[in-house]
Structure 1
Amino acid sequence: MMSAVKPLTNTRTFLLWLVLFCPIAAWIGWQDYVDRYERFFQDTSIAQRMLSQKTVQHEAVLATLAALSHPPIPERLLPSLQPSMPQLLGLGFLRDGAWAGSTASPPGLVAAVEHARQAGRPVTLSLDESRYWLVAPSSWSLLLDARQLISAADFPPSLAMLTLDVGAGPLTLLARQPATRSPGWKIDLRKPLGAVSQPFPLHSWRTLTPADWPWVEWLAWAAASCLLTAGTAAWQRSSADARRQQEAVRLAAMARLSTLGEMAAGIAHELNQPLTAILAQVRAAERLLDDEDERPAVRQALRASAGQARRAADIISRMRELVKPSSPSPRMIVEPDALAASLLFLREEELARRGIRLTWRNADPGARPLGDRVALEQILHNLVQNAADALADTPGTRSIVLSGRVEGPEYEFSVSDNGPGIPAEALPRLFEPFYSTRSQGMGLGLALCETLAGSMDGRIAVHNLDPTGACFTLRLPLAGADA
């Protein structure tokens, strides 16, 4: 009997709204923070790369000057470099121990040159928070202004505060937020520049103030959650009778789709395969009767027909047993290889004529499941037939793989194909009685397979393969496994 659901009071409606609103609002806030931090991290990395490219350019200029056999006069060289290097304030080099440059000699030049030669790379001499000399082992030296490396307008828009330490204290390159401390959540990042000779520490930070919070998204979710809560409350107040009617309809539908009705409607569907096999074998025997040498083949075909006739009788018997609640399905040890061999004998040649290759793979040959062989044959025949139907319009190589393996305390049969797969919207309903993805299908084969699997304490499932195809799996208890 369906229990009555109490209509929501105003207090319970408000609490329901809070329960609905708060987690999603927190998730929206967290996602907004994650997005802002990712943009901040990416844009800081962009700024670091931009500055690194400039400093690496300094090293390239020094290397080029050192390679010149007859270097130009620094006073003439400086004007030609400044249009592309506005950060360059001066340059020069030691000639026979004397300084030749466009500006005064840097302090400690001789010691710096010796240090650069020992290090095998240029070294820096800072003058103040923005200016520094870059001295190469060749004695060529560049006077640089870090303020002119990149214009503030060229930095990415998500950056707010940016400083660079060239050796005499932090130099502010960017200041888009007020210096006064404002309430909010601070995010920052420190990264050195990529030049070996100028690994100056870059510091980027930003304060996420209430103005940055996702108010629009919160208000939209607040309105949507209010509508959902109000709709839920109104629906509960007005639909008690409708729920009872829907339950009555559902119970009536379940009664119509009871096991007895399902099995009776599926008899024609399930008997089609063995009867088709009998017809094919008898026709083959009829064609071979006139040839004396083909009598063994005739005998084999007739034996196969007799086997399929027995299988048809067993199917009818099994259906009769399954609709009796008091008659549980017998569980015996099943030989997977023998079961697969019977299936291959019946279907391999027929499928080959349709251009479909059917193969069997047993990953655990010594394992034995518990089940009903007749029911297993029904399930596997049905799954192979469904796979063959799915491959009907598939171009190129078409294959069906029947495989078996041990999965924990269970044995798993799987039937997979390389067809187009199953539409996502059809997967949840695939085992419903009378639901079929084929225009000519009755929608009973898979429903019956699920019923047969359940009667053996097994379960059947389906999933799509990547990139194409579908795979049905049947899991049964493993003989010898703990219950």
Structure 2
Amino acid sequence: MPRPRLALLLWLMMAGVGAAALFFSTGNRLTETFGTDARILHRVLSQRMEQQEAVLNAVDALERQGMDAPTLGTYLDTLLRPYPQVVAVERCSARGCQTLGTPAEQPPLLSVSPSARPTVRWPQGGGPLYALSQNKVRVWVDARRLTGALDEGAAPLTYTLFQPDAEQVIVAHTPATGAASATLRVAKVLGTSLQAFPIHISRPVPWSAWPWAATLLWILLTAGLSVLVFRLLEGRRDAQRALLDERVRAGGVVQAASEAIVALDDIHRVTLANPAARAVLDHPLPPGTDLRAVTTFQATLSQAPFNATSFWDSAVPTALPEGLTLRRGHEAVGVEGSLAPLRGVDGELRGRVLLLREVGPLQRRMLEHLEDGERRVREHEEMLAHVSRLSTLGEMSAGLAHELNQPLTAIVSYGQAAARLLDDPEPDLARVRHAVSASVTQAGRAAQIIMRLRQWVRRAPSRARPTDLLQAVQNVLTLCRADLNRLGVQVQASFEDAPMVLADPVQLEQIVLNLLRNALDAVQDTLEPAIELSIVSEGRSWSLSVLDNGPGIAPEVAPRLFTPFTTSKTGGLGLGLSLSQTLAQGMGGDLSGRDARAGGAVFTLSLPRLVLEAASD
């Protein structure tokens, strides 16, 4: 059975057993409480029946002593105060019955039938009132007043009192209750011989009496426990599987190793040997083989004395002496290797591992590698001549790739953005047009780069026209915004208003882009990278400065900073600054670089200021 299904089954079993136990315990408690309350009610009613009979006997005794009616009435008013169920007392004769004292209720009419023995008389029509008669005395009892405060409480009882040997109800007490899930019942007989009335007692069990909250809590707890146990079991299974996989991988590595590897226990018996070990030792090496009995090392004249006993019993890693040979049948082969101890977690010695390799094949391989290396050197010398013939073409290709990288990257980014916008349910066509327009702009820029690069190779003059230097800087900042945010570079800008220059716009952006890219490369390993851009007026020129807080210009690079193919960056081509200076000089300006006073490097681009002629009248 799958583990999740087994865990679910176990949870259902625990939740079901726990919920059943809670309901069973609650049912037993409700039953015990009901039985206790029913016994109390039965005992109280039986005691009050005895009290009524005691009142009857007392009044009968006073009446037979000849006590007059007023005196007897006064005595009864005091006597009956603790017995609210006795509502009236009468003295009866052949002429009729006389009410004594102050009755709580007016007794109904009942025929006179004196009897020396106490009897129970019922008025016509039944009801809750009945009379206890003895001789001339009649005591009226209201069964509705028998229980009093017992009828109230958190869980009142429902009871019905019947006449003896009849199904007529004397009194039925049914408190108001809500919907019941079950009803507890018991039938008893009141414990007096005169008033042995049957009584049926019951109690409805409301739905709220059952342990719903505890059951829900138990289900949640068992669910959490089941999930925890399941995860522990899964973790243990995963750990066992990982351990088994690790053992399999380790065994595979040992078996695939080209060196001879033999694992031993603490008394030098083989526990594991790879195929290379069986080949070197020329022995099958089954588990349990004493490796000392099948391995014989022999010293040579060029090798120091070899103590086999101390070697095999060494508790530290021990290398075989140089020049040692291994006896294999009738031959002796040169070997090298080591014996290392294997210790457990407690640090105790658990065994050893022997590594061996034949020296002869290794020497042959070294000679083969040496010959192969010499052959490759000759081939490399032959290729140098061919490469030198392609150097010019390679330089041109590298420069072209260097300059086209940024516009092509921008074209890809704008194209991907336009594609994502078109995939929206309601595409933002304005943003799509902007992305497509930007892609077209960058494509034109790439075409101009190719044309300008060709002009640079031919040393053709650039096409200078009025250009906003600040706008060119902002365009380049927009292109590099993603890299600036990724590296967390703080950019500080200080620009003067309207820095108009006479320059080629595409070449100007190329120069600014190269300077900003170099600054980004310089600060990428700085703790708090920062780049400062400033445009200031210097006579008849505008100067753009790009200052970074990187490591500065390397001393070995500074003398030939603008020489082609000079770079200190890993993987750099060394064409960016050379090309940028050539472009700046072609526009009548210049590009220079130096170390900044506070650290880092600063590169300054100077371009001729645009002079506007006054309009003639």
Which structure ranks higher in relative contact order (CA pairs < 8 Å, sequence separation ≥ 6)?
A: 1
- The interval holding the TM-score normalised by the smaller chain is 0.3 to 0.5
Give the structure with the larger strand fraction: 2
Rg larger in structure: 2
